[in-house]
Each structure stands twice: as structure tokens, then as C-alpha cells.
Amino acid sequence: MDFQRIVLFVIFSMSGLFLFQAWQKENNPQPPAAQVAKQEAKKSDAAGAATAKPADVPGASPANAAATAGGEPPKAAPTTELKGETFVVKTDLADYTINTLGGVIEDVALKQHGDTTDKTLPYRVLTKTDKRKHVAQSGLTGAGMPDHYALYTRTSTTTDLGSAESLEVRLTTPLSAGGKSDLIYTFKRGKYVVDVTREVTNSSAATMAPNAYFQLQRDSVDTGIKQPMGGGAFFGPVLFTEAKKYQKVGFSDVEKGKPGIPTERSTNGWIGMVEHYFVGAWLPTAGSARDYYMSKVQGDAYLAGLKTPLGDIAPNATAKVTVPLYVGPQEQDLLIAAAPELDRVVDYGIFAFIAKPMFWLLKWFHGLVGNWGWAIVLLTVLVKAVFYPLNAAAGRSMGKMKLFAPKMKEMQERYAGDRAKLNQAMMELYKKEKINPMGGCLPILVQIPVFFALFWVLSGAVELRHAPWIGWIKDLSAPDPWFLLPIVYAITAFAQAKLQPPAPGMDPLQQKVLMYMPVAFAVLFVFFPAGLVLYWTVSNVLQIAQQWKINKMLEKEQAAAQALMKR
């Protein structure tokens, strides 16, 4: 197996990986509209959308009903439509649009992350438009308690963080039984985490025992960047608990009630909605009781949330519960600081065990040079240095094969009619000259996982989203807009192939086909992130330099050996 065949192996391996991802998506489709309508019709009566069982939590099994008594979050808007007003809270990192109807966060515009199609506009993780809906809701369950359709009054006048370290925005609504319920948002400088507090003041003569719920509602519209041949980052509900670890639950699985969503009360973990590069997640305090749920509501809308008790509230007493909400980019330092294991939402695919340390190396190099492109170049140099012993040994074997190519060709002509004798003569030559014909395979095979891992780093790490390198490369996570890097790659791959000898006995036509195979590979690279093409191109350049040096060294060694024989 020579370099050209390894290139073919890489192509087919990559194609297989992405085709497998595409197959997975095709075999987990959203149900057709007719099927959804039929299912909704069946649920429209007393059992409709699980709302007829007030003890149930959306997405939970009946076995969990006793643990979550006190009513469930409403799945549909009330028939009497109330109108609230929206206002914007400005912080140093994002603008939050909040509606006084339910106190719902309807929009989060990130100031440091541009929109996918127009970088001059902020990216909106949460949004409520005719095309998309992804909002954060919270409320209380129990008789006379306000849900996320209740009308609130904003009592705070300041909605701009300005130069302050924190900002509290309070909304309030009266309780029909007596008292009030406050919804308090606390924003902090330099953080995408917002503390969401539900506070109940009981002015009645009876004890109250409400539950608070916190949920994200979104549609199934994929906001991610499509990768070549169907690959792409996961988007949808996610959940982490110490018992079952990190779980990604597809929208179709939510609708089918996939086993695995916890139905027992928990005291740890978090729940959220993830999309390419960004995440929204509720992060309840460790040790506090909570019940997680996921469910589908009417139309194309899905819930992922949690429910937690406020406890018994005696007359003239006040109780509250706070659950932090993270809505922002999947920046790994921020995720780690926000909650344990929240950094798992970064989708590194099946090579996460390699991709994670590779990202941290990239980040370290970025800290040195201040540019992700040059960090990739330095990472490539490091990878080549680590694999240098393998590459050097393989290079000597390949160089000797090229050096002894005339002798091999003479053997092929001599034993043209006897394959067995040709193979025997070749083996004797390999043994005598210490040539390993398979020596060129191992270094490249070892680097294939590195190649795939870097692909997932470039595709999944938001730190490299819209990251420029030089000149025309404005986004290392996107394809080269001018196709210059794939062209340079093709040139370097062709030059590298020229330095490699053809496999013994290979048909001349086959040799030419494999010689120009890098051109086909370059066409494939047109659709890959520019950072990945940069990595492979720099790797080729380093390999060419190393092989050229080894070839020259072998030529000198052979010349010296021949000079000794003539004496």
C-alpha cells in the first residue's frame, strides 16, 4: 500500500463517515404533517396533550405523577388573549427582549457573535418571529398561581446594565387568593448566565404549596451549518444527570416518548436546548429537588424543562426559588464555569476523545500568536513533530523504493511471466536493503483520526466561528470562498505523490490515475472548512520537505557505498 492508495482510503473513509451521519438523520425523520395532525386529533379531548392529568409533567410517565403533584405547565395559550408589552434589557454581552405577558424571554441577541448570513447583525439564540420560535418560559403551578400566560407589571425602571456589575429587573402580578408573585431577572456583567427567581408572597389565610417550572420552548428548525455529505452538529433537547450522564434526545424521540428521560425526582444535573455553536440551558442548584421533562406541544413546538417545589408557604410568609439560565455561545471556558459538564454540549462527534485535547492545544497556540489560522499551522507542526519517528522511518523506506526503482523494474521485466519468482526476488531485495513497502501506511493511518478530530473541532468550536486567518480567509470554519487553499493543497499533494515510488507491478495507467487523485481530493476539500484544508496543506508541505531531505540523504549514502565498492 503506497501513498496514493492511502489517499483513496482517506477519501472513502470520510465519505463513509458523512454518509453514515446522513443515514442516521434520514432514519430519524420528523413525522409527516398528516401523521402529526392525526396524533393531535386523538389527544384533543380529555386526554388532550396530557393536560387532563394535572399531576403529570410534560414528557413524564404516569409513574412520576405522585412526585410532581401541584399541576403542570400549560401547553396551550388561554382562549382569552391578553396582550403584554415588550422591553429590552441591555447588558455588555447581549440584549434580552422580555414580554410582560408571562415574563417570557422572547429574544436574546448576542453582541459578540454575528449572524450566520450577515455578520453585521447579532446572532439571536432565542427569538420569536413568524419563521422561528425559541423562547424561555417560567411560571408557577397550583390553584390560582400565575403561569407563563399571566400578565405581569414591570416595577423596575432601569433596563440597562451600563457600568454596573449586576442589574435586577422585577415583574409582579397579584394572586387571586391574596398576595403576589414576583418574577426577578438578575443580569451580571461578563456572564451569559441570568438568575431567574420565582418569589411568592402569601397574604391569604391558607398555606400555599406551589411548584415553579422553568422551560425552553422551540421549534424543530435547524439553524446549524450543513456539513459536506449530510454531516452536521446535533440540535434539540439535551439533558445531563449524574445517573445517566449526557443525553441528546432528538425531536422525533421526544414525540415518541423515548425511554431514558428521567421520570424520577433528581437533585442534580441540567436541561436545555442545543443548536450549532449555541445553547440555552436551565442550571438548577445542586442538591435542590427537581423533575425534568421533555414533551411536544401543539404544532411544531417542543419543551425541555424542569419543575421544582417552593415548599409550604404559610400565611404572611414569602418563599422563592432561583434557577440560573445560560443562553449564549458554546465557549468552553464559559460553559465549564456555568455548570458541571455543561461543556458536553459542544458536539465533537465520535472523535471527541481526540478533539477535546486538540482544541485545548489550539487554544494554547492561539494564546501565543493571537490568530486561529496560525494556531492551526503550529498545531500541524506539533503533530508532524510527534509523528516524526514514524514519518522518518516510513520516509526512508519510501525513499529506498524510489532509489531502487530501476532495479525493481529490471526484476519485473526479467520475471514478467512468473509472478511467484518476482515476489520472491522483491522480498529478498526488501530484506537486503531493509525496505518496508508498508512503511508509508502507518503514519498516514495514525493521522486519520487526527484529521477527523480537527474537522469536528473546526465544525463545532464556536471560538473558530467567523475566525479569520489572512487575506481572503475570513472564516476558518467555512469553505475557502476563492478555492485557493484547495488548489494549493492539490499542488502539494501532487508534488508529494511525485516523490513516492509507484507500487511494484502497478499498471502504468493505474499509476497515472493515482498520480492525479489529489486533484479529486482537492475538489472534495472545496466543501470543507478552510482551517482543515490549511492543516492538510501545511502537513503536505512539511512532508515534502522531510521526504526531499531523506531522498537526498539516501542518494548520498548510496553514492558513498558505490564509491567504497569501487576501491
CATH number at residue 61: 2.70.98.90
Question: Is there a domain that residue 426 lies in?
Answer: no
Same domain, 313 and 238: yes
List the grid coordinates of 517.
Answer: 487523485
Question: What type of residue sits at position 196?
Answer: V
In a domain, 155, yes or no: yes
Residues 327 and 380 in one domain: no
Question: 303 and 254 share a domain?
Answer: yes
* pLDDT greater than 80 at residue 49: no
One domain for residues 311 and 225: yes
pLDDT over threshold 70, residue 39? no
Residue type present at position 526: V
Residue 31 lies in a domain: no
Instruction: Give every CB contact of residue 559 below 8 A, 6+ residues apart in sequence.
Output: none
Please check the confidence at residue 289 and state whether its pLDDT lies above 80: yes
559 is written with which cell numbers?
A: 553514492
C-alpha triplet 334, 338, 340: angle, nearest 5° = 110
| Domain span at 285 | 43-344
Question: Do 127 and 249 fall within a single domain?
Answer: yes
Residue 139 lies inside a defined structural domain of this protein? yes
d(C-alpha 381, C-alpha 106), whole Å: 46
Q: Are residues 64 and 118 in the same domain?
A: yes
Amino acid letter, residue 308: T
109-149 per-position pLDDT tens digit? 999 999 988 989 999 999 999 999 999 999 999 989 999 99
**Cα separation values, 328 from 109, 117, 289, 334, Å:** 9, 18, 25, 9
Does the residue 419 lie in any domain? no
Contact 50, 75 (CB under 8 A): yes
Both 239 and 300 in a single domain? yes
What is the pLDDT at residue 510? 63
Tell me whether residue 403 is in a domain. Answer: no
141 or 521: which leads in pLDDT: 141
Overall average pLDDT of the 499-522 stretch:
66
Residue 49 or residue 300, greater confidence:
300
What pLDDT, on the 0 to 100 scale, is given for residue 419? 80
> Strands (DSSP E) along 115-263, which ranges?
122-128, 133-141, 153-154, 166-174, 179-188, 193-202, 211-218, 236-241, 245-248
**How many Å apart are CA 309 and CA 212, to the nearest integer?**
6
Section 430-455 average pLDDT: 72
For every residue of 55-116, which 3-state class applies, written as one string?
Answer: CCCCCCCHHHCHHHCCCCCCCCCCCCCCCCCEEEEECCCEEEEEECECCEEEEEEEEEEECC
Residue 364 inside a domain? The answer is no
Residue 512, all three cell numbers: 497515472
Sequence letter at residue 488: V
User: Which of 306, 326, 344 is a domain's end point?
Assistant: 344
Q: Are residues 379 and 338 in the same domain?
A: no
**In which band, very low, low, confident or very high, does the pLDDT at 56 lie, cut at 50, 70 and 90?**
very low
Instruction: Categorise residue 336: left if φ over 0, alpha if ψ from -120 to 50, beta otherwise.
Output: alpha
| pLDDT at residue number 45 | 36
- Of the pLDDT bands very low, low, confident and very high (cuts 50, 70, 90), residue 192 is very high
36 pLDDT band (50/70/90 cuts)? very low
pLDDT of 563: 67
Task: Identify the pLDDT of residue 390.
Answer: 75
The confidence score (pLDDT) of residue 426 equals: 78
User: In the 8-state DSSP scheme, what is residue 27?
Assistant: T
Mean per-residue pLDDT for 319-337?
97
57 and 155 inside one domain? yes
Q: Kindly state the average pLDDT of the residues 483-491.
A: 92
pLDDT score recorded for residue 409: 74
Q: List Cβ neighbours of 121 (8 Å cut-off, separation of 6 or more).
A: 114, 115
Identify the weakest region by mean pLDDT among 11-20, 236-245, 425-434: 11-20
- Within 370-479, residue ranges assigned H as helices are 372-386, 388-403, 405-414, 419-433, 441-460
Please determine, for residue 22, whether its predicted confidence score (pLDDT) is greater than 50.
no
Helices 372-386/530-566 angle, 10° precision: 40
Of 102-106, 478-482, 492-496, 533-537, which range is least confident? Answer: 492-496
If you average pLDDT over each of 162-166, 344-348, 424-428, which comes out highest? 162-166
Domain count for the chain: 2
- Do residues 141 and 78 share a domain? yes
pLDDT at 381 over 70: yes
Q: In the listed set 344, 365, 382, which residue is the last one of a domain according to the structure?
A: 344
- pLDDT at residue 555, rounded to an integer: 73
Q: Is 428 part of any domain?
A: no
Distance from CA of residue 54 to its chain's centroid?
36
Grid coordinates standing for 343?
A: 461543556
Rounded Cα distance between 392 and 550, Å, is 8
Highest mean pLDDT: which of 17-26, 61-70, 294-303? Answer: 294-303
Give the pLDDT confidence score for residue 421 in this predicted structure.
79
Per-residue pLDDT band at 269 (split at 50, 70, 90): very high
Above 60 in pLDDT, residue 220?
A: yes
Query: What's the rounded mean pLDDT across residues 485-508?
Result: 76
Q: Are residues 234 and 185 in the same domain?
A: yes
Locate all alpha helices (DSSP H) within 133-219, ordered by sequence.
none
Least confident of 4-8, 15-19, 56-60: 56-60
Encode pLDDT of 382-438 as tens digits: 988 888 887 777 666 666 666 666 777 777 778 777 788 778 887 877 777 666 665
Percent of residues, the chain, with pLDDT higher than 70: 74
Q: Which residues pair with 329 in a beta bridge?
A: 278
Pairing of strands 153-154, 133-141: unpaired
State the cell numbers at 130: 413568524
- Mean pLDDT comparison of 23-37, 497-511, 538-552, highest-scoring range: 538-552
378 shares a domain with 286: no
